[in-house]
Amino acid sequence: MILVLVGPPGAGKGTQAKLLCARFGIPQISTGDMLREAKRSGTLEKRYLDIMDSGGLLPDEAVIGLIARRTVEPDCSNGFLLDGFPRTVPQADALDELLASQGGTWIDAVIQLDVARPLLEERLIHRRTDKRSGQIYHLVYNPPPPGAELEHRADDRPEAVAKRLDAYEAMTAALLPFYEQKKLLHRVDGVGKPEDVTHRVLSAIGRPGSGGE
């Protein structure tokens, strides 16, 4: 099964990705997480680091290469969930070519999480992530346990948040008609308890009560 999660920053892609991957037993492939890991290990080029921290989108070729290398790893043989990729039509075209070259696999569903902008800003500014486990928290709705080693993302500062939301509206908006035309797009309300959102996603993709692939 190949799933794609799209939606603006803060829509809950990372949160839903973890819940859906646990259900279907497939790996989560998040370009944002891969880039942050490269940043931590000091292997991310300085020009990309600056773009990321300020809330801009990296050039398509930088992320397409990451996906091409990751999707041929053995744990992807039964499928995977893409979180934050593709974000542009050229990235979506590259993904189609990649899947065709990998033996003709295909995307099962593209899920768009809908959340209104004021709520997105509120979610991002209060987000904290556990450095060790990668678990995502919200200081108000889902507070971290005592002792968690918390990280506040550089791009969750208010000015970077505004830029990321604008970049989503400007660039990613073209992606939705692309998948709508292919009849792959499922729009899901991303507001409510994370588990309720997961149920909505499963119903939307025709897998209610799904326990595995």
Catalytic residues: 13, 87, 127, 153, 164
* Interacting residues of 63 by C-beta distance below 8 A, sequence separation 6+: 31, 35, 85, 87, 91
- Hey, is 116 helix, strand or coil? coil
In the complex, what is the shortest distance from the CB of residue 164 to ligand AP5, in angstroms, rounded to a whole number? 5
In the complex, what is the shortest distance from the CB of residue 74 to ligand AP5, in angstroms, rounded to a whole number? 23
Among residue numbers 106 through 145, which ones bind ligand AP5 (CB under 6 A)?
123-124, 127, 136-138, 141-142
Q: Which stretch binds ligand AP5 (CB under 6 A): 20-28, 80-88, 173-181, 198-206?
A: 80-88
In the complex, what is the shortest distance from the CB of residue 79 to ligand AP5, in angstroms, rounded to a whole number? 19
Burial of 65 (0-12, 13-18, 19+ CB in 10 A): exposed
In the complex, what is the shortest distance from the CB of residue 63 to ligand AP5, in angstroms, rounded to a whole number? 4
The residue whose Cβ lies closest to ligand AP5 is: 32
For residues 110 and 182, give the distance between their C-alpha atoms in angstroms, rounded to a whole number: 10
Rg of the Cα atoms in the chain: 16
Q: Does 10 bind ligand AP5 (CB under 6 A)?
A: yes
Among residue numbers 155 through 184, which ones bind ligand AP5 (CB under 6 A)?
155, 164
For residues 207 and 32, give the distance between their C-alpha atoms in angstroms, rounded to a whole number: 27
Q: Does 44 bind ligand AP5 (CB under 6 A)?
A: no
Q: Does 85 bind ligand AP5 (CB under 6 A)?
A: yes
Q: Does 197 bind ligand AP5 (CB under 6 A)?
A: yes
> Which CA distances in Å does 19 have to 25, 26, 28, 44, 113?
10, 11, 10, 28, 14
Helix-then-strand count for the chain, H and E: 9, 8
Which residues of the chain form contacts with ligand AP5 (CB under 6 A)?
7, 9-15, 31-32, 35, 51-52, 55-58, 63, 84-85, 87, 91, 123-124, 127, 136-138, 141-142, 155, 164, 192, 194, 197
